[in-house]
Structure 1
């Protein structure tokens, strides 16, 4: 095997300088690691196979003992005048970032840019490694002109990447390994070079080609790359000497550690790629893992993250056709769909894997905007929810007819829809979409003008009165008292937080509240939910729950105001969700401890208290 670096000279008719390629990304407002995640996942989704789950992984590795193999394969680097100092970059402490996908088609097609692809293939290899600025070959794909790939080079301190791919086409050229670098234009004697470099198998014309089949396998194994021994198709992109960005704020900022970078990447995946984690109507989705030195952890499902659950629900409504259509009088007459879901403002996660790359502060009042590919473009802020205890997440998704028009409005990093510079239908669609979304938010939040000139807040309050827990307050710990030996009760005052736990119940004990009630969203509506434990017993028990308004001083409201809505217990649900019983009472058969949730409605501007009572029926 004879692999080496080759530096591209300027052609007599002109060439693209490396500086210009990297600068085409502009100056993104997003963190570079977020840009990387968005661009890489977009490429992987566009390259998905027809069936199966696209697996996407990011692994941060320290070269350590592998540094000798890296130096043996990649040195000597380009000439000194290029300022591409690989010798200094290849040290034991060097961090490499490996971005992998599987169940994708890989980077197939011709090996040389001047060759024509056959009818059944796309020139993915040359589009990624050799060419710049080619339009996307994928209908409704996330990419446009391929400038975003510059982020891979920008993240490398030496502008260098290594690509290992196994293509769905198979054959002798199906397995390929090649390196590439973007530096600065430079001179060697009187000859000018573009600053673009490639590493690979030397060809007769000195332009390198990728290492193929067995040689590609040998390189991947020597460098400790994931490889394709299992025969699956996909691509690994290795960013050499990766810059991981800053942790903390000035003047005390420092570079992230690999572990901190992995946490930030996990958070970026959650906030930018969560729609790809929700299976579509055909079951297509992406599965994400992030790790350090080969030890990886799956990214949590977005519908289990309180901050993201409303967005997930809104997307499902859009997919199911339950959203509100963005209609126009001129083509495209249907340009998108909007849906919104409510969440609890107090339920924001404190996990770093959620908060590290959170794109906004405080409770959500945002709209996730996306095209057909369902990659989040941005989070457009809307009015805050009129009820301070509530947040919302909404989704606006472009239609197939309008997708290309929204694509024209995106910068190379695909993180905004910019109307400036657009004209005709594209400008009208993009500007109209913003107005449409703002109107939808005003209507759904009761902020828009109502018939007769009255504001919408009164109507909203009346609507929420029967379903929304309004003011949550800290109350007393659960209390229990005997009632003639045949029943028992416990009580707890509504407040945020709460969970199952504590000491195991004793056999024959009393049903009791095991935590404090919390605000939760169930089937799109907010409720106050209290956890209850029913102890093990050999007898049948009837457990009942009541909820009451607490007045100032802690007493019970005996007579509600005339016409006022009274809070009610709506249902019981087993902790695993298998059993749902409507009403205030459940019959619990003999058996072990069981955990339940009690769902109740709640009045605005009030504090409520749950009470749990139990009646025991003797056996026989």
Structure 2
């Protein structure tokens, strides 16, 4: 059975005009493609199955030679008076966006809005395709009244979408395909229409319904949609004749290419949906892919992206109960929690995948705010780190008791917490959360009234100039062991590999010379803690040597600080590590066996607002 378009007339008692539904989304400050992935992924997470990983994908397709199949199925469109010109929109250059999820429940429930859902189902189909303004029926879901679905229609140049869904329902109604469009209200002679249109099968009662079962499968195959041959449940939403948004700034901007749009959406997924990529204690998470014309490229895990790694660490602390509690004297008495992790100021990636949708400029000094659903609401800026070499990422997450109050503060796009217009507990919780976060940042950054001291800030700047710090975050998988982590220690037994390719104990090609520093120290963050790291080269030799390192504070003018202030913390050498990370020795000294030249790193504790200098000494061992 083929489908056709049906246009909704105004009912005598009144109806919702299409313009009002689209306008409910407002004018988001976010890029429309960012709003799309946020809203779509939020819907998918709310519809997740109890077990398994939610798979979410976006495919940017150019119709090309396939356009004839699309025209054959979807034309003729609504009457010309509606101004919904599908005939012009469906051309070979037209782009469609296919947004897919799997391991979700699909859009199930009744096919018509007036029918009551049974006790074991939710009316997802009518809530998405027919109704407007219904409250969310998902506990701690990301959405509120479903207005965000307007972004699907807004991205289409003709306001039209096609939905293909497979549910767990028994019988032909489990598989459904239906189209919908939002245009403008219009008149056919004296009869007024709402501007809402549906594509499907229209029965004797003149009400449109979805195509079901084999009819739905035939349509999906003809359009080249992913389909559900594997039997999994989920939904594909197709945005017809999609606008991809501008690339570049006015007046030289142009529309994004499909590849540019795919990259931007992948970047938007990273920055807005990274918490859903971090498995919870039950292993539940989302897996994202983005592609062009049927390709499929996975979005990288956020803990492998330098810019996002501190945020991931902070979220894991919040989940584990290690965050600071946002407590109140009146209900809800616990309204959220906060945690922060350090990064380095220029440790961010330069890949376009990271930078394309980056929500702020410069080093991170931001708090990712989120509700229980763990979808990023926004990045609240805080004070920059007092040490210009360091950055940080923090997380504030609402508690279950306060989640609904924070939801009341969100606009339809869920990208802010706005206290204006709130009253009572909701206003108190939202305003108090901002104050709580700011206080936490001040405490953790040492910006309280007692912090600092005369000349402290200037010394921090001097530190940057004299120490030659080059920030670098340890690469993922680097075999670094922090102090006290059980790395090898002692007199050097078990030292084997030479980081420069030789083996300890081999006949050296040359000999003599002393161990020396080979570069400026760098600032590295490992497991949330900063360290100063200096590179050292130990020359080849035929005898065993003991190499020691010391670190000292340097005062203005370059002299060593001989008498530190009473109670001051002094820097200490913590460990040595071979350049390839295979050998770790705790303490200030290592015993190096005879062998080829080798490279090492020496780790020292980090002191904010201090200039430090490393010294290396070497003596022959009696063992040699």
Common fold: TM-score over 0.5? yes
Distance 2:516 2:58 in 1: 46
1:89–1:616 Cα change, 3 Å: farther
TM alignment of 1:274-293, pairs within 5 A: 274-293=274-293
Following the alignment from structure 2 to structure 1, what is the Cα–Cα distance between the partners of residues 193 and 540?
A: 79
1:347 paired to 2:363: no
Find the aligned partners of 1:91 and 1:158 in 2 and give their Cα distance.
13
* Correspondent of 1:495 among 453, 467, 470: 470
1:606 matched residue in structure 2:
611
Match in the other structure for 1:214: 214
Deviation at residue 572 of structure 1 after TM alignment: 4.2
Q: Report which stretch shifted further, 115-124 or 508-517.
A: 508-517
Aligned residue in 1 for 2:492 = none
Return the alpha-carbon distance in structure 2 between the equivalents of residues 219 and 591 of structure 1. 71
Matched, 1:26 2:31: no
2:85 is the alignment partner of 1:85: yes
Matched, 1:265 2:265: yes
CA 1:290–1:599 in 2, change beyond 3 Å: closer, same or farther?
farther
Q: Does the 8 A contact of 1:544 with 1:612 survive in 2?
A: yes
Q: 1:588 to 1:411 in 2, by over 3 A?
A: farther
In 2, are the aligned partners of 1:545 and 1:598 still within 8 Å (CA)?
Answer: no
Quick one: which of 521, 546, 549 aligns to 1:546?
549
Establish whether residue 505 from structure 1 lines up as the match of residue 480 from structure 2.
Answer: no
Any residues of structure 2 matched to 1:563-578 within 5 Å, and which? Answer: 563=565, 567-572=571-576
Per the normalisation by structure 1, the TM-score is: 0.86
C-alpha spacing 1:275/1:562, structure 2 compared with 1 (3 Å)? same
- SS of residue matched to 1:373: coil
CA RMSD of aligned residues (A): 3.5
Q: Would the alpha carbon gap of residues 536 and 558 (structure 1) be closer, same or farther in structure 2, given more than 3 Å must change? A: closer
SS at match of 2:192: strand
CA distance in structure 2 between the aligned counterparts of 1:347 and 1:474, rounded to whole angstroms? 20
Q: Distance in 2 between the 1:108 and 1:593 partners?
A: 68
Name 2:452's counterpart in structure 1: 457
**Which sections of structure 2, spanning at least 5 residues, go unmatched?**
479-498
Whole-angstrom CA distance in 1 between matches of 2:219 and 2:517 = 61
Are 2:311 and 1:304 aligned? no
Residues 566-589 of structure 1 show CA distances to partners (whole Å, capped at 9, x for unaligned) of: 543323457787765422456789
| Conserved? CA contact 1:474–1:495, under 8 Å | no
TM-score, L = length of structure 2: 0.86
Deviations 1:93-119 (A, max 9, x none): 111111111111111111111111110
Helix, strand or coil: the match of 2:206? coil
Query: Which residues of 2 match residues 469-548 of structure 1 at below 5 A?
Result: 471-472=463-464, 494-497=469-472, 505=501, 508=506, 517-529=521-533, 544=547, 546=549, 548=551
2:553–2:571 Cα contact (<8 Å) kept:
no
What pairs with 1:93-172 in structure 2 (closer than 5 Å)?
93-172=93-172
The CA deviation at 1:207 is 2.1
Deviation string for 1:111-155 (max 9, x for gaps)?
A: 111111110000001100111001001000000000000000000
Displacement, 1:565? 5.4
Q: Separation in 1 of the partners of 2:413 and 2:556?
A: 57
Give the Å deviation of 1:12: 0.9
Deviation of 1:169 (Å): 2.9
Q: Indicate how the Cα distance of structure 1 residues 513 and 219 shifts in structure 2: closer, same or farther if over 3 A, else same.
A: farther
Q: Deviations over 1:447-497 (max 9, x none)?
A: 223xxxxx31249979xx9xx99945699xxxxxxxxxxxxxxxxx75335
**Greater shift in the superposed pair: 278-287 or 124-133:** 278-287
Q: Secondary structure of the equivalent of 1:347?
A: coil
Q: CA deviation at 1:38?
A: 0.8
Cα pair 2:245 2:255 within 8 Å, conserved: yes
Secondary structure in 1 aligned to 2:208? coil
Judged with a 3 Å threshold, the aligned counterparts in structure 2 of structure 1 residues 19 and 542 are, in CA distance, closer, same or farther, namely farther
Distance change in 2, residues 1:565/1:397 (3 Å): closer
Q: Aligned residue for 2:323? A: 323
Asked if structure 2 preserves the Cα contact closer than 8 Å seen for 1:389 and 1:470, the reply is no
Q: Distance in 2 between matches of 1:178 and 1:279?
A: 34
Change (3 A) 1:420 1:553: closer
SS of the equivalent of 2:530 reads: strand
Shift of 1:349: 2.2
- Asked if the contact 1:15/1:194 (under 8 Å) is kept, the reply is yes
Q: Distance in 2 between matches of 1:612 and 1:459?
A: 35
In the alignment, the residues of structure 1 paired with residue 155 and residue 260 of structure 2 have an alpha-carbon distance, to the nearest angstrom, of 16
Equivalents in 1 of 2:126, 2:383: separation in Å? 46
Q: Structure 1 unaligned runs (5+)? A: 450-454, 476-492
1:424 paired with 2:424, answer: yes
Deviations along 1:350-409, one digit per CA (max 9) or x if unpaired, are: 222111111111112211111110111111112222222222221111111111111111
Question: Is the 8 Å Cα contact of residues 311 and 368 (structure 1) preserved in structure 2?
Answer: yes
Q: Quick one: distance in 2 between partners of 1:514 and 1:71?
A: 68
2:405 — aligned with what? 405
Corresponding residue SS for 2:5: strand
Q: Which digits, 9 at most, give the CA deviation of each residue in 1:64-108, with x for residues without a partner? A: 121111111111111111111111111111111111111111111
SS at 2:251 equivalent: coil
